[in-house]
Amino acid sequence: MITAVMTAVFAVGYLILTIWMCRGLRLSARDLALGGAVCAVTVVLAGIRIPLPTGSNITCGSWIPLMVLALIYDHRLAMLAGWICGLLVMILIPGWQAVHWAQIFVQQLVCFSCLGYAGAFGSDKKWKAVMGMSLAVLLRICGHVLSGVIFYSQNAWDGWGAWGYSLAFNLSSRLPEGVLSILIVSMLPLGVLQRAVSGKGGAK
């Protein structure tokens, strides 16, 4: 019961906060083009997975496009694009389908849109970008772990329990993928990419 309440509070709180952060977003032709391209790349990369001994997997850099979009252009557009990606992967990628309708709100609408939080603190300083990306990774891990506890507890290994199983299953894949994504994005010339995309040093 406590776990269900905790999960509901997380999902509702996250969605309310994210909708609030997306306030004022006006989609231009450039926004639609960038968002569509990022969605396409993200979904393709999410379909390329490296299996791990725990039964989980690491994708081929699917976190990076949305993080970059949030940092060099507009974190609100990245959040919106993330919601679209979360729904698209359920349709296009085997293994991403929700086992219960509530999972869509706990995991699918969180796991990609949260990557938009990479740009929540701005990108003019490297430490701000790292803080934003760390927050995005933390939110994604929380979404996956809570989803695992609620919807996949029947898959728990003997003696592990729902929480132990979900933590081990998700931390073995989401944490290293998140850290690698942060490292890769941190090495990119974000300032150059920002000027190339917007022509004005960013659209934030």
Band (pLDDT 50/70/90 cuts) for residue 143 is very high
Dist. CA 82–CA 194, nearest whole Å: 19
pLDDT at 202 over 70: no
At 159-178, the pLDDT tens digits run 899 999 999 999 999 999 99
Band (pLDDT 50/70/90 cuts) for residue 199 is low
Dist. CA 114–CA 80, nearest whole Å: 10
pLDDT given for residue 203 in this prediction: 43
**For residue 203, is it within any domain?**
no
Dist. CA 58–CA 74, nearest whole Å: 26
**Residue 83 phi/psi, 5° resolution?**
-60, -40
Tell me what the mean pLDDT of segment 109-135 comes to. 94
pLDDT at 148 over 80: yes
What CATH number is given to the structural domain containing 41? Answer: 1.10.1760.20
pLDDT at 45 over 90: yes
pLDDT given for residue 49 in this prediction: 92
Beta strands per DSSP E along the chain: 49-51, 57-59
pLDDT given for residue 204 in this prediction: 46
Task: Read off the tokens for 55.
Answer: 């039964």
Band (pLDDT 50/70/90 cuts) for residue 117 is very high
**For residue 13, is it within any domain?**
yes
Dist. CA 21–CA 81, nearest whole Å: 14
Tell me the HSE value of 29 on the side-chain side, using a 13 A CA sphere: 0
**For residue 124, is it within any domain?**
yes
Structurally, the chain folds into a number of domains equal to 1
Look up the domain containing 6 and give its range.
Answer: 2-20+29-198
Q: What percentage of the chain carries pLDDT values higher than 90?
A: 67
- Give burial (CB, 10 Å; 0-12/13-18/19+) of 131: middle
At 18-39, the pLDDT tens digits run 999 999 899 999 999 999 999 9
Write the DSSP assignment of 140-190 as a string of letters.
HHHHHHHHHHHHSGGGPPTTTHHHHHHHHHHHTTHHHHHHHHHHHHHHS-H
pTM strictly above 0.85: yes
Is the CB of residue 112 less than 8 Å from the CB of residue 82? Answer: yes
**For residue 53, is it within any domain?**
yes
**For residue 204, is it within any domain?**
no
pLDDT at 201 over 50: no
Nearest to 185 by CA among 123, 99, 104: 123
**Residue 50 phi/psi, 5° resolution?**
-105, 115
Is the CB of residue 56 less than 8 Å from the CB of residue 185? Answer: no
